[in-house]
Chains A and B, each alone.
Chain A
Amino acid sequence: MTRAAIVGIGQTEFSKASGRSELQLAAEAVLAALDDAGLTAADVDGLITFTLDGSDEVGVTRCLGIPDLKYTSRIPQGGAASVASIFHAMSAVMAGVCDVVVVWRAMNERSQFRFGQPIARGNIPAGGGSSFMEWCLPFGAQSPASWEALTAQAYMHRYGATNEDFGLVSVLLRKHAATNPQAWFYGKPITLEDHQASRWIVAPSLRLLDCCQESDGGVAVVIAREDRARDLKQTPVTIHGAVTTLPFNHEIISDYYHGHDLAQLPMAQRVAARLKDLTGMSPPDTQVAMIYDNFTPQILMQLEAYGYCGHGEAKDYIRDGNLELDGSSPLSPNGGHIGEGYIHGMNLITEGVRQARGTAANQVANVKTVFLASGVAGAIIGAG
């Protein structure tokens, strides 16, 4: 069967005020990714983005001069769409529908919108995964941090984890960002004391330094047929397997109704199980973990769900140094969303590709495979 590979990655700078439209950021990122691959707009026959993206397919094709698309689609579930989009691009290629699919995400979520700010009225529930807002906003749960916090506190209560345990993630990712010149927090590591001194965003679970950034920027990834990929500019990074899941009653972030212990992530457990079936590999078998960090508790919960450690053990697993660059499973060597920038999961994918190519700023030694994860979606990729 034809396999799919990631053949190009592109990004703009990550900032707090891009000074240009989201469409321009999208177009610049797509162009950079095509240049990286050694492809042109005429080679592109598929385009994928998030349901939440503010630019549309017509706009992007108009900017790049893409002559003819065979496939477009938009992926739901907020930032979980990041790794899910890799699954969809892979599927379009493996089905023989497309030869070259570009995934983009671009946003001015600091200068144009404030992604983390409270909202008084959500969208009328419909597509776009906004139905949960109806049940949260009148009660003062009006921001992503507040939705996350109801799950985070359940985790703290269940396993005796503390906010200081969450802070370990923040300190680690800021340490990684401090030596990544592309990171917003380049040269700016923090201590656990800094974390504990940062103000409460939502008590008793999330301080300021438990939250990812609000960033402006654009990222694009090019996925192609593997046989085509071999002739291109970069060493192809093969998608060994990619999966998504949408368990019954799952919601994006206000995931309160799935009927299981909220201190665990059933959807992420399914992702690991399906990847194992598909690739024979489990996430801990890979050399780098690019795991979605919207808020620090999500890292602990996902580590446990993907099988890096037992339930409730993530705080000790982190303390033991496993996520350091020279540890058993280095976490987001670019600094993740917390340290590098928050382009909704996409800048974790580009870092995963750099790690597989061996070209990252904080390169992990002997990388054969990389795990990409955004909650409901996961992928294992590797060069060759």
Chain B
Amino acid sequence: MADAAILRPEPVFTPDSAFFWEGAARGELLIKQCGACLRYWHPPRPMCPACNATRMVPARMSGFGTVYSWAMPIHPFPHGFSAPPIVVLVDLDEGPRIVSNLVGVDPRNVQNGLRVHVEFEPAQGGRSVPVFRPLGAAP
């Protein structure tokens, strides 16, 4: 669905989130894991709310997840897209929930509970973002 001329907006980088977008540029889906109690947390934060450790380590996810809910913004049309994107909440198999897009599926076939796997699409500024494709859907 990515049009070469129209790219999604460049992600906002902050000191606490840069790892996520740097990982995406390498084709890795990273979530911060507490170095002490090993819990995953997203959105990322510099301190574990369970044990208050500040050693938060980026951990690579399997990329598998399940669609929790979805929405297709049609009007006004979102910036940086050539067709209405399917926005999804994905529950990663490791636990954290993230906002992303569903690709490779007809909007009429989107369902809560769809099993998906991560891939990456380009964004403005030479960046990449993680998106998800239903398992078994043609690339």
Contact = CB atoms under 8 A, between A and B. Distances in A.
Contact of A118 (B10, B76, B98): B76
Contacts, number: 130
A312 to B, nearest CB: 15
Contact of A120 (B9, B68, B72, B74): B9
A137 B9 contact: yes
A338 B68 CA distance: 28
A201 B14 contact: no
Interface in B58-91: 68-81, 84-85, 87-89
A120 B78 CA distance: 8
Contact of A150 (B9, B14, B71, B76): B71
A139 B72 contact: no
A125 B72 contact: no
Contact of A138 (B8, B14, B72): B8
A142 B79 contact: yes
Interface in B87-135: 87-89, 97-101, 107, 112, 123, 129, 131
A150 B78 contact: no
Interface residues of B, number: 39
A138 B11 contact: yes
Contacts of B70: 150, 153
Interface in B14-63: 14, 17, 42-43, 49
B1 to A, nearest CB: 11
B4 interface: no
Nearest to A126: B14
B75 A138 contact: no
Contact of B87 (A134, A150, A208): A150
Q: Which one of A133, A139, A153, A200 has the highest number of Cβ atoms from chain B below 10 Å of its Cβ?
A: A139
Contacts of B76: 116-118, 143
A140 B74 contact: no
B69 A150 contact: yes
Interface in A93-122: 116-122
B11 A153 contact: no
Contact of A139 (B14, B68, B107, B129): B129
> Nearest 9 pairs between A and B by C-beta?
A149-B71, A140-B85, A140-B78, A120-B79, A154-B69, A146-B73, A203-B72, A120-B9, A134-B12
5 contacts: A140-B81, A141-B71, A142-B9, A149-B87, A248-B49
